[in-house]
Amino acid sequence: MRVSDVIRLSKDNVRNEDGNMKSEIAIIEKKTKKTKIFPLVNGLLVEMEKYTRSMKNGDFLFPSRKGSNTPITTTQAYRIINSAAEQIGLEHIGTHSMRKTFRILAL
């Protein structure tokens, strides 16, 4: 996924109206306007269930501390990803790296 699509994800993208978890995320890409579907594999599904449990409908998964219910910026996403990569010894990692390193983990 492009970072511009990731930062716009909300609780509604991962949970049904009845509160149950979805098995996949369906989005319309901001850049291409195409519909894309991404599976929520077991490990991610479990973590998303815990993370979104107390969220309200419409809450962003990656909320900004500035403003009311706005997502983080792509610049902030870059800073977070780059910092996490540096902490585990990876260099030259940015937001576009996510698009080139997709792996399905069966947890």
Q: Looking at the domain assignment, is residue 15 inside a domain?
A: yes
Domain count for the chain: 1
Whole-Å CA distances, 41 to 21, 33, 65, 91, 105? 12, 24, 29, 27, 7
CB 26 within 8 A of CB 40: no
Q: pLDDT higher for 86 or 103? A: 86
Per-residue pLDDT tens digits for 38-69: 888 888 899 999 999 999 999 999 999 987 78
Q: Which pLDDT score, from 0 to 100, does residue 42 have?
A: 83
Q: Which pLDDT score, from 0 to 100, does residue 21 have?
A: 95
Q: Looking at the domain assignment, is residue 107 inside a domain?
A: no
CATH number of the domain that 31 lies in? 1.10.443.10
Quick one: pLDDT band at residue 99, thresholds 50, 70, 90?
Answer: low
Q: Which pLDDT score, from 0 to 100, does residue 10 have?
A: 95
Query: Mean pLDDT, the chain, as a whole number?
Result: 87
Q: Looking at the domain assignment, is residue 36 inside a domain?
A: yes
Q: Looking at the domain assignment, is residue 106 inside a domain?
A: no
Range of the domain at 57: 3-100
Neighbouring CB atoms inside 10 A of 71's CB total 20
Q: Which pLDDT score, from 0 to 100, does residue 104 have?
A: 44
Q: Looking at the domain assignment, is residue 9 inside a domain?
A: yes
Question: Residue 68: what are its φ and ψ, rounded to 5°?
Answer: -100, 120
Q: Looking at the domain assignment, is residue 44 inside a domain?
A: yes
